[in-house]
């Protein structure tokens, strides 16, 4: 099954929590805090797999989660880092942010790409010891890993795209010039998925050719199979436009040529400007030479290279393939797309907060940094509570509460905790 569009959710591992521990050893009194740090969470890593040609695997698995980091422990032992999860995709896969539609990465190169970074491990209580706080009973929790929902879209990486109406001989040509073995039959829409083949001009030069399923009039608006697969011709550096000049189906080759170019332009105006070579196929079956000659004159008048071939009997095919290679050698490499996605990273230096008066003498305080700090505090321990209170005073929460009318004895709600306000 050929699948070229899919969705997935990537979740990096959470960092492990720092440990609260104290040195315990015979003959060593008051050994002090020695809680180790938590390990970092694992990353979600995308890699290109050239053995994959479809996104079908994402139909059966849509959620990919890396391993969490291990918590720290005593004796200043750090937790183990979480394992990365490696997600394989076909070459040419475009990764978009599902929410904004921005391009995150064009997976066309061989470099692994970290799409979601694991959360940082938390500090153990060894980091919080000071001359006045010699036995801290709190540690810093690990941070959550990055999460991203994406839309995957495969755009085949091919140097040459074979374009043309159904049943003009595109699959036959690909089977003749490469090792590809697409299904070939004498009826329209035999090819229902794109096929790739490597054409070797000589020992030192080869190129990739894609047989795009038959495009028809209205393809850019969803008619036929062309709408679904037009994206696979986007990156082609050169288009070989195949036209049936035999007249066996009573079609006008000039009208066919114009119709296909019109669909390409409607889908993407840049495609109409892409270099083209015209291959007039089924020349061995021509019964009206005048029609074929008229088409040839029309194409030459437009300035396109024109080759009369018969893919079935291999007539003129070698000359066409050599010309294709010659033109490709002068063209720039296959286009890759520049990412536009910018991830909003949490600013750990941001100490903003919001105070809401709920009902009379009840106030609610919210802020990301406060939520993180609460995760590191042991509220059953006096020193930990004093540490948390100092943070609130340091970053202006107490001052802001008084400005909002808070008085002694009022109730202060901070996430899951309730406090009685004391000046």
In angstroms and rounded to an integer, the radius of gyration of the C-alpha atoms of the chain is 33
How buried is 333 (Cβ within 10 angstroms: 0-12 exposed, 13-18 middle, 19+ buried)?
exposed
Query: Which residues share a beta bridge with 209?
Result: 160, 197
Flag whether pLDDT at 94 surpasses 90: yes
43 vs 203, more confident: 43
The span from the CA of 414 to the CA of 423, in Å, is 17
Range 196-223 average pLDDT: 72
Q: For 116-153, what is each residue's pLDDT tens digit?
A: 999 999 889 888 888 877 888 878 888 889 999 999 99
The sign of the CA dihedral 279, 284, 288, 290 is positive
**Residue 396 is encoded by which pair of tokens?**
């202006």
Rounded distance between C-alpha atoms, residue 388 and residue 371, angstroms:
11
Phi, psi of 245 (to 5 degrees): -105, 10
Q: How far apart are CA 227 and CA 319, in angstroms?
A: 31
pLDDT of residue 373: 80
| Strand arrangement of the beta sheet that strand 411-414 belongs to | 354-359, 362-366, 411-414, 417-420
354-420: CATH number? 3.30.300.350
- Fold of domain 162-328: Rossmann fold (3.40.50)
Confidence category of residue 219, pLDDT binned at 50, 70, 90: very low
3-class secondary structure, 155: coil
Mean pLDDT of the chain: 86
Burial tier of 366 (Cβ tally within 10 Å: 0-12, 13-18, 19+):
middle
Question: Alpha-carbon distance 245 to 311, whole Å?
Answer: 12
Q: What is the pLDDT of residues 347-392, one digit of tens each?
A: 667 888 999 888 778 889 998 888 878 876 777 777 778 888 888 9
Give the side-chain half-sphere CA count within 13 A for 157.
18
C-alpha span between 239 and 158 (Å, rounded):
10
- C-alpha–C-alpha distance, residues 105 and 341, integer Å: 8
Task: Give the per-residue pLDDT at 152.
Answer: 96
Q: Tell me which of 23-27, 47-51, 89-93, 185-189 is least confident.
A: 185-189
Which fold is adopted by the domain 1-157?
Answer: Spo0b-associated Gtp-binding Protein; Chain: A, (2.70.210)
Q: Which pLDDT belongs to residue 116?
A: 96
181 or 418: whose pLDDT is higher?
Answer: 418
Specify the pLDDT at position 125.
Answer: 87
Sheet of 5-11: strands edge to edge? 63-65, 5-11, 147-154, 93-97, 103-107
Q: How far is CA 154 from CA 96, 203, 302, in A?
A: 11, 30, 33
Assign 187 a pLDDT band (cuts: 50, 70, 90): very low
Q: What is the DSSP letter of 122?
A: P
More confident residue, 273 or 181: 273
- For residue 79, the model assigns a pLDDT of 95
Confidence band (pLDDT; 50, 70, 90) for 83? very high
Domains 162-328 and 354-420 share a fold: no
Q: Are 317 and 173 in contact (CB under 8 A)?
A: yes
Percent of the chain with pLDDT over 70: 91
Minimum mean pLDDT among 38-42, 65-69, 331-335: which range?
Answer: 331-335
- State the average pLDDT over residues 106-114: 94
Domain boundaries, the chain: 1-157, 162-328, 354-420
pLDDT of residue 217: 53
d(CA 174, CA 76): 64
Distance CA 143, CA 376 (A): 11
Q: How far is CA 386 from CA 106, 234, 379, 393, in A?
A: 50, 62, 9, 11
**pLDDT tens, 2-54?**
688 999 999 999 999 999 899 888 777 777 899 999 999 999 999 999 888 88
For 230-263, the pLDDT digits (tens) are 777 888 899 999 999 988 777 899 999 998 888 8
Angstrom distances, CA of residue 133 to CA of 24, 77, 373, 411: 18, 21, 17, 29
The residues near 123 (Cβ < 8 Å, ≥ 6 apart) are: 18, 37, 139, 140
């Amino acid at each position: 099954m050929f699948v070229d569009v899919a969705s997935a959710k990537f979740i990096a591992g959470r960092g492990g929590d720092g440990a609260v521990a104290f040195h315990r050893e015979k003959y060593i009194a008051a050994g002090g805090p020695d809680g180790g740090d938590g390990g970092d969470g694992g990353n979600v890593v995308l890699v290109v797999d050239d053995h994959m040609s479809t996104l079908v695997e994402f139909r059966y698995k849509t959620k990919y989660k890396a391993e969490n980091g291990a918590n720290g422990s005593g004796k200043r032992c750090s937790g183990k880092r979480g394992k990365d999860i490696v997600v394989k995709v076909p070459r040419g896969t475009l990764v978009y942010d599902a929410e904004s539609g921005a391009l995150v990465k064009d997976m066309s190169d061989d470099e692994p790409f970290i799409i979601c970074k694991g959360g940082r491990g938390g500090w153990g209580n060894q980091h919080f010891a000071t001359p006045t706080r010699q036995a801290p009973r709190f540690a810093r929790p690990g941070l959550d890993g990055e999460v991203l929902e994406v839309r995957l879209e495969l755009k085949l990486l091919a140097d040459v795209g074979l374009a043309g109406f159904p049943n003009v001989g595109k699959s036959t040509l690909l089977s003749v010039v490469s090792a590809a073995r697409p299904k070939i039959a004498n009826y329209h829409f035999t090819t229902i998925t794109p096929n790739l083949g490597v054409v070797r001009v000589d020992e030192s030069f080869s190129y990739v050719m894609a047989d795009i399923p038959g495009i028809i009039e209205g393809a850019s608006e969803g008619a036929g199979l062309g709408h679904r697969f037009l994206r696979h011709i986007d990156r082609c550096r050169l288009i070989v436009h195949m036209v049936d000049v035999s007249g066996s189906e009573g079609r006008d080759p000039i009208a066919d040529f114009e119709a296909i170019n019109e669909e390409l332009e409607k889908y993407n105006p840049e495609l109409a400007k892409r270099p083209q070579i015209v291959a007039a196929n089924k020349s061995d079956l021509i019964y009206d030479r005048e029609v074929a000659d008229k088409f040839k004159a029309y194409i030459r008048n437009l300035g396109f290279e024109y080759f009369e071939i018969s893919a079935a009997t291999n007539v003129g095919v070698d000359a066409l393939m050599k010309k294709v290679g010659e033109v490709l050698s002068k063209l720039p490499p296959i286009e890759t797309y520049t990412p536009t996605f910018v991830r909003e990273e949490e600013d750990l230096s941001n100490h903003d907060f919001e105070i809401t008066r709920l009902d009379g003498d009840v106030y609610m305080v919210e802020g990301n940094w406060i939520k993180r700090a609460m995760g590191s505090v042991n509220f059953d321990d006096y020193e930990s509570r004093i540490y948390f209170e100092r943070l609130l005073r340091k970053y202006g929460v107490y001052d802001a509460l008084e400005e909002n009318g808070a008085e002694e004895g009022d109730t202060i709600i901070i996430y899951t905790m309730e406090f009685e306000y004391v000046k």
